[in-house]
Chain A
């Protein structure tokens, strides 16, 4: 699967551990399927930021497709 989402502008959020988020390739998984997307992540504590429009948009769409597979 192609990257589900790419946000061109960096998010207004920093990690509470003090680091700025960096764009990184992380793995998403659902119902036994795995795919890699670029998301903003804390380089230190690895916390991954999932923006609202991604969660309610593309992610929800793919969830539905996988559920109906």
Chain B
């Protein structure tokens, strides 16, 4: 990712877009923060927010014609927030929070002709920037048309007080002047730039181009006139706040003119503008405006707080609200894109964004809920690819899952056969490694069913499609797995592939387009026999796996099948195209187990019913989260007690491996009449036992029974171990590959009892420093 790509990406996250109120305000007053402070009773804070963007807050806070309110999002659910009245309440109750100070003198000066709102703002802005300011005013005091507001709305003493600030800033004010072309000429001679505040017709003799009404022709945004160094603005009759803003724009132009920089660069967002922000009104009840008890007096403290609390505090966060992963890292995609970009740019030092990159489930729900389709999946996957290619992927992030994939595709589990007695194959059943791990008995049963119901021979392929490698951005391993599969599939005569797992389907579809894969469910739909008995558990909530999100036919097929089987299916709010991940996708559960747990627990809590789903991993994770959960096969196959099936304890990592290996052995024996000829390694015959609590702990620590056997076998063979002085237990370590495992154990009748185990990746050299 380069800077340009980053900026394009950042732009697509709209969380930092201004709220409607601030975008509509000619001065971009942050009315959202203002209302937030007001609702909390922090009126000093509220006044500070006003002072940040609003000159003469005591004046404009009282008389602003609040174009913000027309755009206020709250207006779509009740009345718009009475921002104008709140500002008024604030500036009436709270005095200035910070003294107005000027920068050191720049040694240059400007003249301002006029004393109304625009002229005052020009003087305010430029005096504070360190320019000398000379004001020429027609009336005998400052304020111009501000003096025309009723005194109860804008008391003359407030105007005096506020405009006195200009005197403190060193502005020279000359009252009672005649403002004409001659004065302009004189001022142009003495000053570096001139601002003219105009109302309607200015009359002849100015030497300036005029508009159709006789006013000075000025650029709407820069306020530049036909004379260089002369700027004009005003027009307070339509909107006092727009007049003030025109003064601000003119001041910006004058400053730029005096500094000799571009008058227009970077000013696109000046003035009222559109916003791309999205704010959901879901669950927002319509509320009417809070009426002040005394309209003439305006809001009292309690009333104002109540009214301000109606502010929706508009923001987007559509994706963050729905994804525990996005929530956990405390930001939103725009920030994450920047963090990930910075993470990639680090040459020396800690890459703090690694966990962010590796924790995403790549489920793509964020894209669906984002008004601009921002994809964390694409961002994180590209970052993973980059990390892998630069050798910067933390070895521990995905290793466990990749080892599991290697095991699935190793000689103990992988199988590729034509149907017994069939020389050719029209179909190839690919149940996937997780269904084989979770419910090997179902795989056997389905395969037998397919063999008897389909014509032309049904081959069987046991193994992993390569999805873990794809998630880990290990394209080398993915390629290897797919090439191996492809070779055998071609040799089998390119049969139609029947998959049970949506993740396998996704891999085949995207990475092996020449091998057309179909869902098992489509075949089952044509061969499904009516059930003899009704299922004991038939009220279920449907959890669509995240890989099914963009497969509308699959989503429909599954629903039809469940209906035909008589299930009463609850559709979750986040189902179908909006479905949530179970926490395994993208190897989230490997890289960040706590977030993966939060993800599945969130899902589990969305319904009081048990689940039905059609991904074995989703099924097992929902079951592990304590919910009854059926795999679609449990729901469809004849003779399955759904209540019992939904309560089936999900196998742990070791059992999953064992189930796959046993499935292969069993099928080989029963269908092909073969004994497995894989050599059994010595350590595999070590018998280990442990308490269920420890089993759970080792599951969390990702220590397999296989690892325990390895350690004990090596320790017993070589006698290298420690002995506990009191309990007599042994403690030994072994490092079969990258990880060193420690096992505390004692001999038992038929093998060994394991009391504890832990691991580390750091290697211990049995020597001192050289």
User: A residues bordering B, Cβ < 8 Å?
Assistant: 12-17, 21, 24-31, 36, 39, 41, 45-50, 52, 55-56, 59-60, 62-65, 67-69
Contact = CB atoms under 8 A, between A and B. Distances in A.
A26 B394 contact: no
A7 to B, nearest CB: 14
Contacts of B740: 50
A50 B757 CA distance: 12
Interface stretch (B377-385, B447-455, B494-502, B716-724): B716-724
A21 B731 CA distance: 13
Contacts of A41: 766
Interface in B224-265: none
A59 B762 contact: yes
B733 A65 contact: no
B722 A46 contact: no
A56 B697 CA distance: 13
A65 B354 CA distance: 11
B768 A16 contact: no
B766 A67 contact: no
Contact of A50 (B350, B723, B733): B733
A27 B768 contact: yes
Contacts of B725: 12-14
Nearest to A4: B762
Interface in B567-613: none
B769 interface: yes
B352 A68 contact: yes
Contacts of A17: 719
A2 to B, nearest CB: 13
Task: Pick the most buried of B349, B352, B725: most chain A CB atoms within 10 A of its CB.
Answer: B725
- Main DSSP-derived SS at the B contact region: loop
Contact of A67 (B354, B742, B759, B763): B354
B106 interface: no
B120 to A, nearest CB: 55
A50 B722 contact: no
Nearest to A62: B762
Contact of A36 (B350, B351, B354, B769): B769
A17 B350 CA distance: 42
Contact of B765 (A28, A47, A49): A28
Contacts of A25: 768-769
Given A41-B766, A48-B764, A16 B721 contact: yes
25 contacts: A14-B723, A15-B723, A17-B719, A24-B768, A25-B769, A26-B764, A26-B765, A26-B767, A26-B768, A27-B767, A28-B764, A36-B768, A36-B769, A41-B766, A45-B720, A47-B720, A50-B742, A56-B760, A60-B760, A63-B761, A64-B394, A64-B396, A65-B350, A67-B354, A68-B350
A14 to B, nearest CB: 5
Given A14-B723, A29-B762, A63 B350 contact: no
A67 to B, nearest CB: 4
Interface string B701-743: 0000000000000000001111111100011010000001010
Contacts of B758: 52, 55-56
B761 A12 contact: no
Nearest to B766: A46
B535 interface: no
Nearest to B393: A67
Contacts of B719: 16-17
Contact of B723 (A16, A29, A48, A64): A16
Given A29-B765, A47-B720, 15 more contacts: A14-B723, A15-B722, A17-B719, A25-B769, A26-B764, A26-B766, A26-B767, A29-B762, A41-B766, A47-B722, A48-B764, A50-B733, A50-B742, A55-B759, A55-B760
The winner among B349, B720, B742, B762 for most chain A CB atoms within 10 A is B762
Given A16-B719, A65-B350, A67-B394, A28 B763 contact: yes
Contacts of A28: 762-765
Residue with the greatest number of chain B CB neighbours at <10 A, chosen from A41, A68, A69: A68
B472 to A, nearest CB: 14
Nearest to B720: A47
A27 B766 CA distance: 7
Contact of A68 (B351, B720, B769): B351
Nearest to A52: B758
A63 B769 contact: no
A60 B719 CA distance: 28
A54 B350 CA distance: 22
Contacts of A64: 394, 396
Contacts of A50: 733, 740, 742, 760, 764
Nearest to A20: B725
Nearest to B730: A16
Closest 10 pairs between A and B when the two form their complex, measured CB to CB: A67-B394, A13-B722, A55-B760, A46-B766, A27-B765, A30-B762, A36-B769, A68-B351, A16-B721, A25-B768
Nearest to B395: A67
B304 to A, nearest CB: 49
Nearest to B767: A27
Nearest to B352: A68
Interface in B204-230: none
B593 to A, nearest CB: 13
Nearest to A54: B760
B756 interface: yes
A20 B721 CA distance: 12
Contacts of A68: 350-352, 354, 394
Nearest to B726: A12
Contacts of B720: 16, 45, 47
B768 A69 contact: no
Nearest to B353: A68
A49 B764 CA distance: 9
B766 A69 contact: no
A52 B349 CA distance: 28
B639 to A, nearest CB: 46
Given A27-B768, A47-B722, A69-B349, A13 B731 contact: yes
Contact of A52 (B354, B724, B742, B762): B742
Nearest to B396: A67
Contacts of B763: 28-30
Contacts of A56: 758, 760
